[in-house]
């Protein structure tokens, strides 16, 4: 993995600890935890849709303290180890840090990012179920959810630089990660991977995040993520990634048959995935 | 190895004529290794009577293992008299709390605050040490080894297995057997079931073949449905656990504070009637204050 500058490393170091969660999930966590009879599965449903809370929970359960033989990659697994009440109080403590502002200095649309991440996560899971059955579905979902986490970290902690990258990408119709590289000196793949490593995620997932814009997709999960990213973009949920800009896209792995439209058709009705993601991401109401 | 119950009540001390036979103090178990090393499981109010007994054998070298930080398991700690006497040593072991970020030292510190207790830790004259344990980290105490296992309760709870010269015992602290939080027609049901089966297997392995299994048996099976998720087990669940892991003796503890001695015995009689004859030679006992068992 490429090295970050010492200054950048330092700025990102504390990024996730102080990262607020998404408005709708904070609201739902607060609502649910006020009810002593709240159903655990309702709480889990909220947590596993919020990348920030998910990351923080998994970080706790994957910490050296628990020294579990295998890394945990789903909230359900975390519940079995930590118990429902501990998970509830963890979620509550993360929720009190505050909420991600809808508008940030970078002009990056947080709602759109969240919907994009949920769509990517769900599509990745479906792709793995169809085209790469040996991949663990929890790994598929969580990696899809966190694939672009670096972007929201940039938006929150380096808003000016990220804003310039967004404009550059827009103006010259170039993929966002290339614009980030030009402006910031690194891109969201590297930052996301660096953070995922810090949160004790399994190396196989860290590598997928690091390499999710190619040039190679060496594992079945990496191949599914690449295709999920392309599908999310096609559906209009690419959180400004512009990965297909200028046609700079690597060919689909042979397992998908080479035709993106055919893969999308095989996935069936994608509107449900989008509707569900949209519904979840709407704050307030 | 031998052990003695000094507190068997759950939740809150429950003194009075209706609980005089089994005792009203909250959880505390004294364990002695063959070489006489002192291990204390939990510091509920029962630890106060134990402390009095220990004054006959100064200096005391106590190794306390806390299952979890709920009041009924720590409330007697400031009244553990050996803490006040120079020459004694007290080593407190327990879990890290992922929500607060605190180690085991907090269970003392929180009680020794000015508003709640008149003595500060600096004024306690024993040598006090704290050891926040990693999950599964074995601790040698003389000729005994104490190993923790993460169990299921509303706060991080360690069950402890103690081994000494081929004899073994396990205390759950507070534990509710794992159950599926999904309904059978939910998409996540099967996956969750597989996860808890795996966790259950690892917990069973930690208890496997013990000579004495001491289990949170708070509720009857009739009471349980309205207490699901509170983090406690049932008498029937304890028997199932003991049979599954091949324990030789089962001790039911953490008695409900509202259950009188007569009621406790009635519940136990019903239990034994339903389960007799017990397979595998399992013997089941109700824990009471003062019950001493030599393994």
For residues A90 and A195, which has the higher predicted lDDT (pLDDT)?
A90
CB-based contact A83 B136, cutoff 8 Å:
no
Number of compact structural domains in chain B: 1
CB-based contact B229 A40, cutoff 8 Å:
yes
Query: Does residue A70 carry a pLDDT above 90?
Result: no
Partners of residue B39 on adjacent β-strands: B31, B63
Q: Which of A46-60, A203-217, B202-216 has the highest mean pLDDT?
A: B202-216
pLDDT in tens, B123-152: 999 999 999 999 999 999 999 999 999 999
pTM above 0.90, yes or no: yes
Residue of chain A nearest B134, judged by CA positions: A65
What ipTM did this prediction achieve? 0.91
CB-based contact A65 B134, cutoff 8 Å:
yes
Arithmetic mean of pLDDT over chain A: 89
Domain boundaries, chain A: 8-95, 110-281
Nearest by CB to A60, which of B98, B134, B155? B98
Compute the average pLDDT of residues B247-254. Answer: 98
Predicted local distance difference test score (pLDDT) of residue A6: 79
CB-based contact A86 B231, cutoff 8 Å:
no
Compute the average pLDDT of residues B216-229. Answer: 97
For residues A182 and A10, which has the higher predicted lDDT (pLDDT)?
A182
Nearest by CB to B155, which of A61, A63, A85? A85
Predicted local distance difference test score (pLDDT) of residue A283: 55
Predicted local distance difference test score (pLDDT) of residue A2: 60
Contact B77, B43 (CB under 8 A): yes
pLDDT in tens, A204-250: 999 999 999 988 999 999 999 999 999 999 999 998 888 887 776 67
- Rounded to whole angstroms, how far apart are CA atoms A232 and B154? 39
CATH code, domain with B47 = 3.60.15.10
Residue of chain A nearest B103, judged by CA positions: A65
Compute the average pLDDT of residues B247-257. Answer: 98
- Put residue A247 in one of left, alpha, beta given phi > 0 → left and psi -120 to 50 → alpha: left
Query: Does residue A12 carry a pLDDT above 80?
Result: no
Predicted local distance difference test score (pLDDT) of residue B135: 93
- Rounded to whole angstroms, how far apart are CA atoms B285 and B295? 15
Nearest by CB to B135, which of A39, A66, A79? A66
pLDDT in tens, B83-116: 999 999 999 999 999 999 999 999 999 999 999 9
**Could you please report the per-residue DSSP string of chain B?**
-EEEEEE-B-SS---SGGGTTT--PBPEEEEE-TT--EEEE--STHHHHHHHHHGGGPSPEEEEE-S--SGGGTTTGGG-GGGGSTT-EEEEEE--BTTTTB-THHHHHTTSSTTT-S--GGG--SEEEEEEPPTT-EEEETTEEEEEEEE-SSS-EEEEEEEETTEEEEE-SS------SS-TTSTTHHHHHHHHHHHHHHHHHHHTT-SEEEEE--B-TTTGGGGTTSS--BHHHHHHHHHHHT-SEEEEE-B-TT--HHHHHHHHHHHHHHHPSPGGG-EEEE--TT-EEE-
Compute the average pLDDT of residues A248-274. Answer: 85
CB-based contact A39 B181, cutoff 8 Å:
yes
DSSP-derived secondary structure letter, A135: S
Interface check B134 vs A, CB under 8 A: yes
Residue of chain B nearest A80, judged by CA positions: B196
Query: Does residue A284 carry a pLDDT above 50?
Result: no
A60 contacts in B (CB within 8 Å)? 98
CB-based contact A67 B192, cutoff 8 Å:
no
Taking the mean position of all CA atoms in its chain, how far away is CA A175? Answer: 18
A90 contacts in B (CB within 8 Å)? 98-99
How distant is the Cα of A64 from the closest Cα of chain B, in angstroms?
A: 8
Arithmetic mean of pLDDT over chain B: 97
pLDDT tier, A285 (very low <50, low <70, confident <90, very high otherwise): very low
CB-based contact B150 A84, cutoff 8 Å:
no
Domain span including residue B198: 2-294
Compute the average pLDDT of residues A154-175. Answer: 94
Q: Which residues of A26-60 are buried (b: 16+ CB within 10 A; e: fewer)?
A: bbbbeebeeeeebebbebbbbbbbbbbbbbbbbbb
- Give CATH superfamily name and number for A110-281: Hypothetical protein af1432 (1.10.3210.10)
């Amino acid at each position: 993995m490429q090295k970050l500058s010492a200054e950048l490393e330092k700025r990102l170091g504390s990024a996730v600890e102080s990262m607020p969660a998404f408005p709708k999930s904070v609201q739902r966590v607060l609502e649910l935890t006020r009810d002593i009879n709240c159903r655990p599965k309702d709480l889990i449903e909220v947590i596993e849709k919020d990348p920030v809370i998910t990351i923080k929970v998994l970080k706790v359960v994957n910490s050296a303290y628990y020294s579990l033989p295998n890394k945990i990659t789903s909230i359900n697994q975390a519940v079995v180890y930590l118990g429902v009440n501990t998970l509830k109080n963890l979620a509550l403590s993360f929720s009190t840090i505050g909420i991600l502002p809808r508008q940030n200095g970078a002009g990056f649309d947080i709602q759109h990012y969240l919907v994009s991440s949920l769509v990517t996560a769900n599509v990745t899971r479906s792709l793995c179920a169809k085209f790469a059955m040996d991949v663990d579905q929890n790994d598929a979902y969580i990696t899809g959810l966190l694939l672009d986490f670096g972007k929201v970290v940039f938006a929150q902690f380096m808003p000016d630089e990220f804003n310039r990258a967004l404009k550059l990408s827009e103006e010259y119709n170039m993929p966002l990660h290339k614009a980030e590289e030009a402006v910031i000196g690194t891109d969201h793949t590297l930052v996301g991977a660096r953070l995922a490593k810090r949160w004790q995620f399994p190396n196989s997932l860290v590598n997928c995040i690091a390499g999710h814009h190619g040039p190679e997709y060496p594992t079945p999960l990496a191949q599914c993520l690449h295709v999920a990213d392309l599908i999310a973009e096609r559906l209009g949920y690419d959180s400004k990634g512009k990965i297909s800009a200028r046609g700079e896209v690597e060919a689909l792995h042979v397992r998908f048959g080479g035709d993106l439209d055919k893969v999308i058709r095989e996935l069936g009705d994608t509107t449900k995935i989008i509707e569900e993601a949209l519904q979840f991401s709407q704050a307030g109401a | 190895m031998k052990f003695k119950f000094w507190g068997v009540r759950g939740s809150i001390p429950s003194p009075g004529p209706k609980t005089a036979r089994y005792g009203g103090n909250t959880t505390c178990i004294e364990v002695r290794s063959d070489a006489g090393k002192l291990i204390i499981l939990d510091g509920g109010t029962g630890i106060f009577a134990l402390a009095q007994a220990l004054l006959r054998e100064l200096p005391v070298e106590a190794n306390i293992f806390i299952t979890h930080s709920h009041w009924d398991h720590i409330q007697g700690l400031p009244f553990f008299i050996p803490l006040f006497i120079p020459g004694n040593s007290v080593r407190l072991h327990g879990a890290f709390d992922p929500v607060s970020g605190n180690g085991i030292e907090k269970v003392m510190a929180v009680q020794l605050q000015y508003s709640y207790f008149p003595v500060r830790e600096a004024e306690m004259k024993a040598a006090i040490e704290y050891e926040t344990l990693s999950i599964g980290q074995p601790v040698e105490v003389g000729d005994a080894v104490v190993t923790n296992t993460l169990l299921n309760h509303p706060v991080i709870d360690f069950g402890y297995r103690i081994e000494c010269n081929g004899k073994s015992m396990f205390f759950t602290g507070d534990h509710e057997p794992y159950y599926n939080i999904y309904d059978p027609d939910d998409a996540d049901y099967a996956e969750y079931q597989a996860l808890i089966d795996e966790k259950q297997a690892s917990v069973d392995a930690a208890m496997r073949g013990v000579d004495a299994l001491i289990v949170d048996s708070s509720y009857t099976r009739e009471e349980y449905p309205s207490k699901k998720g509170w983090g406690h087990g049932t008498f029937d669940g304890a028997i199932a656990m003991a049979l599954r892991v091949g324990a030789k003796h089962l001790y039911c503890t953490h008695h409900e504070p509202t259950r009188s001695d007569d009621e406790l015995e009635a519940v136990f009689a019903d239990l034994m009637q339903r389960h007799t004859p017990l397979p595998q030679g399992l013997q089941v006992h109700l824990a009471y204050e003062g019950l001493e068992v030599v393994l």
